[in-house]
Amino acid sequence: MPIGVALIGGGIWAREEHLPAILASEDLTLKAIYSRSRKSAEETASASKTQVDLYSDDSEHAYDELLKRNDIEAVIIALPIVSQASYIRAALLANKHVLSEKPVAENVAEAKELIKWYGDEIKPHGKVTWGVGENFRYLDTFRHAREKIKELGEITGFLVRLYGDVQPDGKFYNTDWRKVPTHQGGFILDGGVHFTAGLRYLLGSDVHITQVSAFTTLIKDYLPPVDTVNAILKANTGAQGTLQVSMGTHGPAPEWTVGCENGSVSVGDSSVTVRMADGQEHVDKIENERSGVPPEVRLWAKALAGGKVNPEQSPSQALADLELIELMLRSGENNGQPQTCQCQQSADV
């Protein structure tokens, strides 16, 4: 029997990605939509083309009323970064399974506190689970590349380079919480946590980052506090690499490359390129399933239906993603001073 689920959030990502993913999942039935405003909830509901109950802070039926419903067993939370933690806590206390959007929390300290609380107060009872979504882990290009990397021996280096050049008329920019961010890093956190997750996924379980050194800057004054980071990362194996992200300038095409003993692997939008040490090159054409959110939601639901937890969605994974961004920001604030990672090795990969 499908699991009754509520979508918590009426923003762009919730409406364009989570909503269709829920509707397409055979293990989920959408029961309700909550947004902070009734207008936003109605707009999201209209996109579903199904009859669902609406909840909002400016109506008679708010979030706490939704959580009292016995036919809603789980919630998917896609709210502004600074709002998520309190909604996660409330849902878990109401015995609802939770899949929350990345990042796991606004900062590492809050994330650690939330994870500890979950481990101490909720997890031992075994009634409900908490997962954190990260769609990059469900892109077929990344999953294929990870397998190819394993075939080429020890990882010797890596390069991630992404330029976004966010414009004031862009749909993601024109949300209040992104225009005037109260969370650390602004767009560098909001988008960048995807990139650290993607890199960590490609490196696999045996390679984890131990030190980070970075420089940060602000190119576009409407993207505070910083919109560009250039980081050097050192792994436990001795391998080193770079991560360059800018939301404030044009640049070359995105690049994800991992160098290995016997060749290298590069991830493209719809391809994976394997270059062997002897000069041979092979390109595998691969189509991702949208943004990766449909399989993210589908596999979360299948795990719930089977009474299991998907390890790729563990909060410790999301904490490790977040830590790398926070350490880059901290290093940038201190003129590139190296920062030591504390949360990488313990993450379940």
Q: How confident is the model at residue 158 (pLDDT cuts 50, 70, 90)?
A: very high
What is the mean pLDDT of the segment spanning 279-297? 97
DSSP state of 101: P
* Cα torsion angle, 93, 98, 52, 2, sign: negative
Asked whether residue 247 carries a pLDDT value surpassing 50, the answer given is yes
| Predicted local distance difference test score (pLDDT) of residue 112 | 98
- Quick: pLDDT tens for 312-322: 999 999 999 99
- Quick: pLDDT tens for 61-118: 999 999 999 999 999 999 999 999 999 999 999 999 999 999 999 999 999 999 999 9
- Quick: pLDDT tens for 220-236: 999 999 999 999 999 99
**What is the rounded average pLDDT for all residues in the chain?**
95
Asked whether residue 177 carries a pLDDT value surpassing 80, the answer given is no
DSSP state of 311: G
pTM of this prediction?
A: 0.95
| Predicted local distance difference test score (pLDDT) of residue 348 | 46
| Predicted local distance difference test score (pLDDT) of residue 308 | 84
Euclidean distance between CA atoms 195 and 62, whole angstroms:
34
Asked whether residue 340 carries a pLDDT value surpassing 50, the answer given is yes
Complete domains list, the chain, with CATH: 3-135+293-310 (3.40.50.720), 136-288+322-340 (3.30.360.10)
Q: How confident is the model at residue 344 (pLDDT cuts 50, 70, 90)?
A: very high
SS3 258: strand
| Predicted local distance difference test score (pLDDT) of residue 346 | 62
SS3 26: coil
Amino acid at 82: V
Number of CB atoms found within 10 A of residue 261's CB = 10
CA angle 280, 286, 287 (to 5 degrees): 160
What is the mean pLDDT of the segment spanning 9-20? 95
Asked whether residue 156 carries a pLDDT value surpassing 70, the answer given is yes
Query: β-strands 97-100, 74-77: how paired?
Result: parallel
Asked whether residue 33 carries a pLDDT value surpassing 90, the answer given is yes
